[in-house]
Amino acid sequence: MIMGMIRGDEYRERLQRVKPEIYYLGEKIESVATHPAFLPHVNAVALTYDMAWAPEFEELLTTKSHLTGEKINIFTHIHHSTADLVQKVKALRALGQQTGSCFARCVGHDALNAIYSVTYDMDQKNGTEYHQRFLNFLKEVQAKDLFISGAMTDPKGDRSLSPSEQADPDQYLHVVEKRRDGIVVRGAKAHITGAVNALGHLVMPTTSMKEADADFAVCFYVPVDAPGLIHIFGRQTNDERKCGCLIDQGNVEYGIVGGEALVVFDDVFVPWEHVFMCGEYDFVFELVERFATAHRQNYGGCKVGLSDALIGATYALAEVQGTAKASHIRDKLVEMVHLAETLYCCSLACSCQGYALPAGNFMADPLLANVTKLNVTRHIYEIARLAQDIAGGILATLPSEIDWQDSRVGKYVDKYLKGVASVPAETRMRLLRLIEGMTCGTALVESMHGAGSPQAQKIMIMRRANWEHKKRLAQKLAKIRERPK
């Protein structure tokens, strides 16, 4: 084993050793690593480890630590050039192609990069020691190749009120006690990707704050099995198919999305060595923006990788159904590729336009990163719509594999679900279920709200658009400031 890199099997073994408190459908889950509801998410993360060892992906998924010089997995790396940012996008696309699903590690990776820079800035202004604490933690993450979640989103309660104005202060995670050896926090984080199969959570505040919100300005790391930490797994579209069905799951090995959960902090203790912000409300906006920029940069990578798989499934289905040569089908397939590659261009552009922060690490261009994510909220839906259009109504009415295997009616399902005579009905069924999983329900909602809703991107675009510069350009061309002679 290379120091700083593990394989998928070792990741699974680690999951067996930790004992987080997790609930799903009223059941307390004893083993994340083997439970059918979680196994696809475990498989997807395990692939991020195994692909880093594969010769054809090694260059994309590994790099050198700027702290130790050791070879590490890209998901524990701090970006130090625009080339690093571009490599990240290409790696995400490759992983999306191989999983057809969310592989979860990018959120924690983005959190590492955001916190790295903000802790440095806080120390420079306030003389604190957050950055050195974070460097010690980062060395541990790299040495152990840890999969950690990035936990930012709070339940928020009444969204018209700030954190300190809430009737129930627990609607935003906050500090309830400071001790000599650490802090105690209470609240929750919602929709946290990979929460149930991560090894720990890197927690960040979710919105800009004022002085009255200082108790809510907290950033820290906590192991997944810390006392008082409770995980409530979220429902996913057709999730009960995971118990007993194979074909009906669509993507049986890697699932639909990233295994999101509600994470409850019921008076959880965090030692000071893992606290990276505590009360510095004036730095929260920078932390949120830098994390959001890094995460929105991703979406033209991972979502395009998923789109590659979806487009392939749609093209294959058109062949099975005998429509692949029809001009209107070919036109729709080309439009799907055009939309996907447009998103990829956006992610590459914001990466190439990245720049160095005072800490020395690089951040993608915030304006272009937000444009990337806003386009995802539209283009991915259009790609899905075209896939459903080409698939036909059978996408929503396909009989179950249980009926296909039934001794009485199975022969009819097999007979009447055939398309091209030389191709088995099973092939058509498998393609339809894959397209269904990728275009119906949970996966699309994640494209809309993952890394923030469309309005969040519009707000950032409004802030970054440089309106005065654009106005001056127009005034110059129109000669508005020139006086007649």
* pLDDT score recorded for residue 2: 60
Q: Could you tell me the pLDDT band of residue 242, with boundaries at 50, 70 and 90?
A: confident
List 27's β-bridge partners, or say none. Answer: 24
Active-site residue, from 278, 302, 346, 350: 302
Which one from 260, 280, 289, 401 is the annotated catalytic residue?
A: 260
Choose, from 48, 193, 377, 439, the residue flagged as catalytic: 193
Distance, CA of 176 to CA of 184 (rounded, Å): 6
State the catalytic residue, choosing from 106, 219, 278, 346: 106
Domains in the chain, please, with CATH? 8-284 (2.40.110.10), 286-472 (1.20.140.10)
Tens of pLDDT along 43-96? 999 999 999 999 999 999 999 999 999 999 999 999 999 999 999 999 999 999
Structure tokens that stand for 35 in this block = 């439970």
- 49-58 pLDDT, tens digit each: 999 999 999 9
Q: Over the stretch 13-28, which tens digit does the pLDDT of each residue have?
A: 999 999 999 999 999 9
Looking at every residue in the chain, the average pLDDT score rounds to 96
Name the band, by pLDDT with cuts 50, 70 and 90, for residue 484: low
| Integer Cα distance of 269 and 183 in angstroms | 6
Is 99 in the active site? no
Distance CA 236, CA 232 (A): 13
* Residue 302 annotated among the catalytic residues of the structure: yes
Separation between Cα atoms, residue 268 and residue 184, nearest integer Å: 5
Mapped onto helix, strand or coil, the DSSP state of residue 17 is helix
Tell whether the model's pLDDT for residue 99 goes beyond 70.
yes
pLDDT > 80? residue 485: no
Question: Which residue is catalytic, options 295, 344, 346, 401?
Answer: 295
Each residue's pLDDT tens digit, 418-442: 999 999 999 999 999 999 999 998 8
The amino acid present at 236, given as its one-letter code, is Q
Q: Give dist(CA 209, CA 192) in Å, integer.
A: 21
The answer to whether 446 is a known catalytic residue is: yes
Q: Which of 24, 281, 299, 315 is catalytic?
A: 299
Q: Out of 289, 401, 436, 446, pick the active-site residue.
A: 446
Please report, for residues 85, 193, 383, 446, the alpha-carbon distance to residue 377 in angstroms, rounded to integers and kept in the order given: 22, 18, 11, 9
How confident is residue 244, by pLDDT bands cut at 50, 70 and 90? confident
**CB-CB neighbours of 404 under 10 Å:** 20
**289 catalytic residue (yes or no):** no
Report, as an integer, the average pLDDT of 173-192. Answer: 98
Encoded tokens for 480: 């508005």
131 noted as active-site residue = no
Q: What does residue 483 show for φ and ψ, rounded to 5 degrees?
A: -95, 145
- For residue 109, the SS3 value is helix
Known catalytic residue at 106: yes
Q: What is the pLDDT of residue 483?
A: 63
Long-range CB pairs of 414-420 (<8 Å, 24+ gap) are 419/320, 419/321, 419/322, 420/319, 420/320, 420/321, 420/322
Q: What share of the chain is helix, strand, coil (3-state, %, to 5)?
A: 55, 15, 30
Contact 109, 75 (CB under 8 A): yes
pLDDT interval class at 168 (50, 70, 90): very high
- Segment 217-222 shows an average pLDDT of 98
Token couple for 477: 């061309």
The dihedrals phi and psi of 203, each to the nearest 5 degrees, come to -100, 135
260 is catalytic: yes
Task: Please tell me the predicted confidence (pLDDT) of residue 243.
Answer: 72
CA-CA distance, 249 to 255, in Å (whole number)? 7
Residue type present at position 249: Q
Does the annotation mark 295 as catalytic?
Answer: yes
User: What are the φ and ψ backbone dihedral angles of 104, each rounded to 5 degrees?
Assistant: 70, -25
